[in-house]
Structure formats: structure tokens, C-alpha cells
Amino acid sequence: MLTLKDIQEARRRLKEYVYTTPLERSSELDQREITLYSKLETLQRTGSFKIRGALNKILSLTADEKKKGVVAASMGNHAQGVALASKMIGIPATIVMPIGAPIVKLENTRSFGATVVEEGQSFEESLDAARRLTREKGLSFIPAFDDESIIAGQGTIGLEILEKLPDVDEIIIPVGGGGLIAGIAIAIKESRPQVKITGVQAAGANAMVLSFKNKKRTKIPVAETFADGIRVKEPGEITFSYVMKYVDRIVEVPEDQIASAVLTLMDRSKAVVEGAAATTLAAVQAGFAGQSGKKTVLVLSGGNIDFTQISRILNRGLAQMGRIARLVVLLPDVPGQLAALLNIIKGEGANVLEVEHDRAFYSGPINCTQVKVTLETKGKRHIDMILKKIGDAGYKPEAI
């Protein structure tokens, strides 16, 4: 079993290679009188915490193992962490990524000098291919999370938090396979057991939530979330044992809440984070984590957001925050009705983004038309005011 001493040794081992990332007071994010701080692993090498564990594992290999090289399977942060860690140590690395993995992630991994092999239609198939290369070529396999050297490396974040904020009350951590939360929990609980450790998962990838509740590892059939850094079907065996020993609670948050948190961090903190990192703020915003008057740290685990997703994430986040809205209104199909509706909206200070007529495919009266109006608004209260004004004019609006 890992101890605080193992994590302290990992800290000494990694010190010359990785950054001690900032822990910043984030007053602009405060919710319900909770005092929030952000641990900015977004500013770590490769833009993610993953290099800590990968490098600690690689540094623990024998000289012969290093000479033969390492292999890993990943389509994201772990791939880049292993690739850069190998480059820093001067050993060869092979990364197996699924066919169709985002080009930006393929190129980023190659830019660190790794050999990238595209094989498999899913992460699980890529993992099988990586293990085959381990057997065939004698390469050392670098797991993404279920390994004690990996866990110890990730746990160095906990030591850094305690150095900067020794009186922390709660730490909120994204959870996928469990390596990050296991490492931080060991470091914190072995030093200050009264600190609350809260894990967060996406509702569509909640294997650790179910495992924690069931007190046994539970595999889900499908993991669906845009937060790909925590899109895991089953927790690790090793990580789960530490979670059960040290973690106080695991909560889950819906996709819209995560998207809203990504947008909030961009808007208020000027921080670009990936979905996994944003789950921590999402849990606070939803009221699932954090306590009034307590010092709470959000572990912002990475900033490698897929730029092809940003517009979708922003739109979902804006809708969740009430900054855009779609209204459905049934209008008499006669001249002037649409203009009258738009004048009401204009009078309330909303900006019309899109108008859609539907005369054929709705089930209302044949002498009416259904109009869908997409608006840019100032918030949920503003939407309610617009709905009331439209209702006062004799229409029956509905927000969808």
C-alpha cells in the first residue's frame, strides 16, 4: 500500500522535471459563501496533470527497461504525458491511439517525439494493441491510472496544495479511472485527515459513483460525456481500493452543468479548461459540493479542450446559464403577427438570433403557425420577463 512517504519521494523525483502549478484564490467563482481556490494543472507541462504520474512511473524503470522503451494507449492527456516524459528522459515511446482520434491530439503526441500507432476502433482495442506490443517487443507498459507509481506521481498535487493552503477544508477532484483522486487523497488524509475529499464524475460516465455506492467495482456498459478525460467505463482495481479508504464522497453532474462551468471559467477566470476539469466547479454550482464559510480547492486537472467542441460546449453552457433561449409561440397565420411578436421581444431588450416557421409538422390549428425564436438574453430572469410580456399580449409562449 502507498503511504505519504511514497508520495514525498515522488515529489523529490519529479521536482526538476514538472512545474509546481499555481494555487490561486478564485473570488470571482465564489458560490454560497464558499471560499474557492483553483489548483491550475492547466498550466502544467502538456496542459494536464498526467505527466506527473507518467514521469514517476518511467523514472522507476530499470536501465534495461528504459533502453527498450515504453508503450501506452490513450487518445488524450495520458498520451502526451507519456510522450513528453519519455523525451525528457531520452527513451523511445510508442503511443497507440484509436483510428479516428482527433488530429490535434495525434499531432501533439508526435510533436513530443513519440511513435504514434493508430490501431483499434475504440480505446479498449487500442489498449489490447498496446499490451500486445508489450509482449512482442518487450516494451514497458505505462498505465493511465491503475498503478501505484502513477498514483504516487499524481499525489504530489496534494502536497503542493497543503504547502500553499495548510488550512484547506475541502478538495474537489475530477474522477475517471481514479488515479488522480487516489493520489491526492493519500497525500491529504495521511497529513490532515479532517480535510474532506470529494470526487466528481459526469453523469454519463459514473462508474466510480456506482462503485462507491455499491462498495465494489462496477462497470457501466457505455460511458458518454464530452469530458473525455474522465470517460471511463470501470474504475481501476488499485485506485478503487484507495478511494474506498480515503475519499469522503463521489458526486455526479449533468452535461449541461459541466458546459456551464466551462463557460463560467472562461468568462470569469479567463481560464480555458477541458470538461473533466470543469466538473469540479459544476459540482459547486449544482450544490453537490462545498460548504459555506469553508476553504475549498478546485483541482482544474487540464486545459486540453478539443477546439472542434468549443462552439457546442459554449452553446450548451449559454443555454444552461440563460444567456440564450429558444421560445415556441403559436401565432395566427395572418400578416403582422410575427412582427408584433418580434416587437415585444425587441421591447424587452433581447436579440433575435434565429426565427423558424412551422406550418406543416405541428399538431395545432390549421389556421395558425408555430414559430420558434432563438434569443440572446441576459439570464433566466430576463427570459421569464420576456415570457410574461408575450403572455400578456395574448399568446401562449413556451421555453424549450
Task: For residue range 100-144, list pLDDT tens digits in order.
Answer: 777 777 888 999 999 999 998 877 788 899 999 999 999 999 999
pLDDT at 315: 86
**Residue 246 pLDDT level (bands cut at 50, 70, 90):** very high
- Spatial CA neighbour of 73 closest among 37, 41, 114, 104: 114
User: pLDDT tens across 171-212, in order?
Assistant: 999 999 999 999 999 999 999 999 999 999 999 999 999 999
pLDDT at 189: 99
CA separation (Å) from 145 to 45, 81, 110, 235, 240?
18, 12, 22, 9, 11
Q: Are 200 and 213 in contact (CB under 8 A)?
A: no
Q: Among 9-23, 321-335, 366-380, name the most confident range.
A: 9-23
In the chain, domain spans: 4-49+147-317, 51-141, 322-399
User: pLDDT tens across 142-159, in order?
Assistant: 999 999 999 999 999 999
The Cα–Cα gap between 275 and 101 comes to: 17
Top pLDDT among 309 and 183 is at 183
Q: Are 129 and 99 in contact (CB under 8 A)?
A: no
User: pLDDT tens across 344-373, in order?
Assistant: 999 999 999 999 988 888 777 888 899 999
pLDDT of 64 strictly over 90: yes
Fold observed for domain 4-49+147-317:
Rossmann fold (3.40.50)
Q: For residues 81-97, give the mean pLDDT.
A: 96
| Superfamily in which the 322-399 domain is placed by CATH | ACT domain (3.30.70.260)
pLDDT at 122: 77
Q: Which stretch of 61-65, 72-76, 272-276 has the lowest confidence by average pLDDT?
A: 72-76
Q: For residues 248-270, give the mean pLDDT.
A: 94
CA separation (Å) from 320 to 151, 263, 307, 326, 334?
35, 10, 20, 12, 34
Q: What is the CATH number of domain 51-141?
A: 3.40.50.1100
pLDDT at 93: 97
pLDDT at 103: 78
pLDDT at 98: 86
pLDDT of 374 strictly over 90: yes
pLDDT at 31: 83
pLDDT at 236: 95
Q: Average model confidence (pLDDT) for the chain?
A: 94
* pTM, full prediction: 0.88
Cβ-based neighbours of 31, under 8 Å, separated by 6 or more: 284, 285, 290
Q: Are 96 and 119 in contact (CB under 8 A)?
A: yes
pLDDT at 313: 86
Q: Which stretch of 24-38, 40-54, 356-370 has the lowest confidence by average pLDDT?
A: 356-370
Q: Are 180 and 49 in contact (CB under 8 A)?
A: yes
pLDDT at 211: 98
- 4-49+147-317 and 51-141: identical CATH topology: yes
User: Residue 280 in 3-state DSSP?
Assistant: helix
